[in-house]
Chain A
Amino acid sequence: KQEVTQIPAALSVPEGENLVLNCSFTDSAIYNLQWFRQDPGKGLTSLLLIQSSQREQTSGRLNASLDKSSGRSTLYIAASQPGDSATYLCAVGRRDMRFGAGTRLTVKP
């Protein structure tokens, strides 16, 4: 069974800092990997989706990379802002996605 782990569980940084969130998975035979953002009491918002044949995806200040062979993905956030404060979740799979527990990010003004 696919297991997804996210480190760290929580992260607090000052505004403007660049940061990296980590996601690891146990079964490298994945179809795609997706990063989501979840605000308190809200649903999930898809940030980036990386197909298994791709190495990375970029959207604005976000860059996600995928290394299937090592079972790892990273989400890089450049020039962090207080509005980036949320929980970031990674998920692997196709229809029945497996999620990590998330990293709770706080960006302090």
Chain B
Amino acid sequence: GAGVSQTPSNKVTEKGKYVELRCDPISGHTALYWYRQSLGQGPEFLIYFQGTGAADDSGLPNDRFFAVRPEGSVSTLKIQRTERGDSAVYLCASSFGLWETQYFGPGTRLLVL
């Protein structure tokens, strides 16, 4: 079956702009996670959803970052007033339940100029 998909695969934007990154989880997976991976580092947890609600958003670095999952399926990570330091690969994962193996998408590579 289809895996986790993320769009766009690459995004180049200018400092100060607003961006949205989309994640389509595996069908039937109730839990969804966002991570950020900088070059040469492991992924860093940002937020996870169980259903429609953000169960833990403690990893979001500041209030410029926000994520939604209005219907309990697709999720959008929103970044306001982007900064060069936001440049990274943003990974999305989903799992059948909170305790299950997480399946990762290919990521969105964000470059802020």
Contact B42 A46 (CB under 8 A): no
Within 8 Å by CB of A42, from B31, B48, B99, B106, lies B106
Over the window 11-42 of chain A, the binary record of Cβ atoms lying under 8 Å from chain B Cβ atoms (1 yes, 0 no) is 00000000000000000000100101000011
Residue of A nearest to B31 (CB): A95
* Distance A70 CA – B102 CA, assembled complex (angstroms): 26
CB distance from A79 to the nearest CB of B (A): 25
Stretch at the interface among B11-19, B54-62, B68-76, B79-87: B54-62
CB-contacts of B1-59 with A (<8 A): 4, 31, 33, 35, 40-45, 48, 55-56, 58-59
- Once the chains are docked, how many angstroms separate the CA of A89 from the CA of B98? 20
Contact with B along A50-63 (1 / 0, CB 8 A): 00000000000000
**For chain A, which range describes its interface: under 10, 10 to 19, 20 to 34, or 35 or more residues?**
20 to 34
Whether a CB of chain B sits under 8 angstroms from the CB of A4 is yes
Residue from the list B59, B101, B104 in contact with A43, Cβ < 8 A: B104
Residues on B close to A: CB < 8 A?
Answer: 4, 31, 33, 35, 40-45, 48, 55-56, 58-59, 91, 93, 98-99, 101-107
